[in-house]
Structure 1
């Protein structure tokens, strides 16, 4: 494939996820308002599951082919990107006020889950049984979400059911097309991004932790930034918390299950990448817990720390 065509496809993929993210979040907000679901619940379930699909497919397919380095690097790299890139960009644009009453519980769950993964991977191998344990951690995460308080002020008396019937078809279409554009656009970005990396002769580990992780995190960036700009901060925060938890439980868990001999974790991941992910989680969650707000300073600190981390990878 000619080099110029690779760059054109890369730009096309970027446009697809940007537009897809706009439609996807619009439809998710509409469904939430009609059903009375809280914005945090929408962000941490519906959007989180959809935007995590690129990481899921990339990591599980790589693991099935025996490429543990790519599977782990993509997942851990995406967790780092979700916080140090997605959240930092969102709060730099617009500081986020934490309105989710269960933010503390979800944040602690995220940190505990990655600590469990670190413990299971400390011997350099996550077995199929340990992968199953990670997958089962999704259950308490989902149960917590079912008790999400309802903050919507929409009542049945305010709903025009005739308008809903018309809008329902439109929003279902926007939801499906938006989700497709996000996932397929991310797939194009990943494929073309890897080819660009090969052209530039970037090492495999750096590709999985940076370019591949950034590519699969673009749906989270699009959805969270769109939600932030639309003044729906609970969706952006909930999306990242949910996506990171799913990366640990579902993505890494299933990757261990489908790998022929168990998911192998490199020493560099145990000594550098996972500790960096935990550090970024603390920088992200502690201000939210203590001050119920994530400000621009936190965003700048996260993003600048990410730049230092990336430079050290080369």
Structure 2
């Protein structure tokens, strides 16, 4: 495939993922309004699962083929990108007001799982047993969301009392399914063409996994967050970022370790640079979000500056 065709497919992928994200968020907002489940819980569960599928697919496939450095780089790079780049951009567009009562707990869980991953990775490998533990940790996050919903904290004030008619149900069901499919398919199209572009430009594989691959598989989170911000449903984007990062550290990393014959091999760069950067941006996001209950434009600029500095070091 020529470089012109590759760039053309890359642009097509961008168009597909923008439209898919728009339909997906529309359907999620409708579902939240009809069921009374808060936007935060919807974002942390249903949206997070859907938008993390590209990371899960790419990382497990890479790990199974013996490219464990790409599997780790993709997942950890997405963790950093989700906070520093995506939250940063959304905060610049419109300050993010955090209305989730359990944001502090969920944010601490997101940070804690990163710490557990670092502890497991400190000896240079994530074993099969440690991979199983990481996957099992996801159950605690699911329990927190179920508990929040049962206690009534997850109820939305925007609930429509009218029973949805069949036409609306079918229409939004189609939007959700087609939107999800477009996000996932276009994300893979963007990753594949992006890697080809990177190879053409002779960018190192490790840098590709932490940058182009991570950004490519984080595009669903980016599009969902931007669409949610523009539509004024920012708790969907906050819940999605926290949930997606928890999924990255548990399900994605755990499954990648399990499908690899020798577990996940961790590089020195991961321990010395990537995890510390993830720690810094996570702390900024959690501490400011918890203390002020919002992520303002100045925080957005700080996060983007940190991401820019990280990209500069990598290249």
Query: Do they fold alike, i.e. is TM over 0.5?
Result: yes
Q: What's 1:91 paired with?
A: 91
Matched residues in 2 for 1:309 and 1:41: separation? 31
Deviation at 1:155, TM superposition (A): 5.7
Q: What's 2:145 paired with?
A: 145
Q: What's 1:255 paired with?
A: 256
| CA distance 1:67–1:244, change in 2 (3 Å) | same
Deviation at 1:147, TM superposition (A): 2.2
Q: How does 1:124-203 map to 2 (within 5 A)?
A: 124-148=124-148, 149-154=153-158, 158-159=161-162, 161=163, 164-203=165-204
Long gaps (5+) in structure 1? none
Count of residue pairs the alignment pairs up: 311
Matched residues in 1 for 2:301 and 2:190: separation? 26
Q: What's 2:239 paired with?
A: 238
Partner SS state of residue 66, structure 2:
coil
Q: Normalising by the residue count of structure 1, what TM-score does the alignment of the two structures yield?
A: 0.97
Counterpart contact for 2:16–2:182, Cα < 8 Å? yes
Deviation at 1:34, TM superposition (A): 0.7
Long gaps (5+) in structure 2? none
Deviations 1:150-173 (A, max 9, x none): 3323567x30x3x52110000000
Q: What's 1:269 paired with?
A: 270
Alignment pair present for 1:226 and 2:223: no
Q: What's 1:46 paired with?
A: 46
Matched residues in 2 for 1:200 and 1:298: separation? 33
Q: What's 1:279 paired with?
A: 280
RMSD between aligned residues = 0.9
Matched residues in 2 for 1:312 and 1:86: separation? 19
Matched residues in 2 for 1:52 and 1:150: separation? 22
Matched residues in 1 for 2:295 and 2:158: separation? 28
Q: What's 1:6 paired with?
A: 6
